[in-house]
Structure 1
Amino acid sequence: SVHSSFYAISTTNKPLSQSSHRIALIIIYTVVLVTGTVGLVIMIRVLKTNLRSWTTIAFLNLLLAHVIFLLTVPFRIHYYVTNHWSLSTLTCKIVSAMIHLHMYVVFVIYVAILVTRFVQYYKKTDRMEFYRRLHALAASVGIWSILIIVGPIILSKYGTKKPEENKCFNFGQQAIEGSVFGFNIFLSVVIILVSCILGVIVGIILYSLIKKHGAACRNQQEFWAQMRNINLIIIIFICLVPYHLFRFYYLTHTQDMEESNEVFLSITTLTCTDMLLIFTKMGIFQVCGF
């Protein structure tokens, strides 16, 4: 069932006890919290232009996804430092579920941004806009209303087995059972395939621009617009794809690879640093305008 599938997305059965894994997780989540917060401050300052732009609306939704997840990061850091969960089981479920919701929401938003830019390129338009700001707001509400509706359902089924006392993030026992196993494989295959397709499209566009303009392509605005797309593709392949590649192996070796899986999962949260990478490279502070 869908409920069981979402339940199985959280993939650690036992609390992490190996110091090397705990140290790695503490470092990763601390970096995510600090750089993610700085990036959000930059993003808020930048996103003050056309609120009907598809790109701007997408980045605003990305900002919201990061904010919601970053609120849960201090709980993770505290748990891995102390190896002790002192809050309720419900809080544990919420914190554990948010890393997965964040990962998939961010991926969907990345895809939306890239597809929008591809359409702009092929249609030769400078900007794609909603006709009214109300339409843009409705589109965003539509995206998040799905989570508002599905979220409580997920939490009601998420981690049906009571975790060990003072431990958290151990809701993944069913990840290899029946249809749940297939659902996890399906999600990973989709993300890897879509990522590769997006990468190929960016490569084709860059090749066509270089072929058309030669050495002068660096003077073309279209070229630098596609380089911004390269930034997103790099983030996807560094932060998201490795986890889903590793997941194929993990799902057949769950008993031996639980700690490693948690580290791979934490790498997906490095997407919270995307604002620093996007807005500080090549002077890209005009992202809302194209």
Structure 2
Amino acid sequence: MKHVFIVNPVSGKADASLYLVPRLIDAAAGAGVDYAVELTQHAGHAAEIARQYGDDGEPVRLYACGGDGTLNEVFTGAYPYKNAEVASVPCGSGNDFVRNFGAAEDFLSLADNIAGTAVPVDLVAANGGVSAAICSVGLDSEVAYSIPKYRRLPLCGGQMAYNISIVERLLQPMGHRLRITVDDDVLEGDYLIATVCNGVAYGGGFRAAPMADLQDGVLDVIMVKKMSRMRIAGVLSKYKNGLHYQNGRVVPELSDVLEYRRAQKVLIEPMDGKTVITNIDGECTPADSLSAQVLPLAARFVLPAPLYAQFEDRAPAVTA
């Protein structure tokens, strides 16, 4: 098997090509594997590289060296190919997908990654592309969409840009009148957030779907209804920490503003004549709607050797 390290130089706070590439070369050479290192040069390039190696027809392990956006691109390019499997070397700002199995630190040992084993995972067909973790519409995606414009201001990097974006949204009209089709059920109402989850977390650790399972062939749908500004902070705090859903249901104190469904396909459409900001694995764009459908066990994801041993002990047998 060939091991291909696809490195996004602009992921995270430092140029990954400067500090990570020498480590990749040392680890691959030390393991005695056939390897290559590819640096991405533009948006979508990681998917192009993945397709190139998939087209070769030879067994290949594609390491997404970057954040969730890079991992999304590698999954997008790789998943149609039975000869390709995807691994992660997380060095972005969020690194949410790997939280389904452990912490980002569990994936940073290159030796463990090279010795790891692939397991089948679900993906999501979303607005003509692919999502590995979570898609959403609403307040969360609107906040994320505004952050880049504040990062360009002096002294407004990181958390400061995030905080300013939240304040901006809270000062504006919030929520959308949405039609949400969950399989064959149609729901209509005023919502702050509608989240379609394949994985557990997004947004740098928001545990929107603590119940999510990447191998169950089902999407978890969480809908947060419009509410007073006085109540938002308390509700979103529970939502962030995964405390809104416990013991198989939405917690009683939030049952009037949160609704949970499971489905194989979801369509979210604004009814107020406006476009919505959609979030697909951290990439936020305006759109007329959000369409999502589960792709059961569509990809193979590599767990580092120690995590695979734990996964094997607790997970039922699943075949791709």
Fold similarity call, TM over 0.5: no
Short-chain TM bin: under 0.3
- TM-score (normalised: structure 2): 0.25
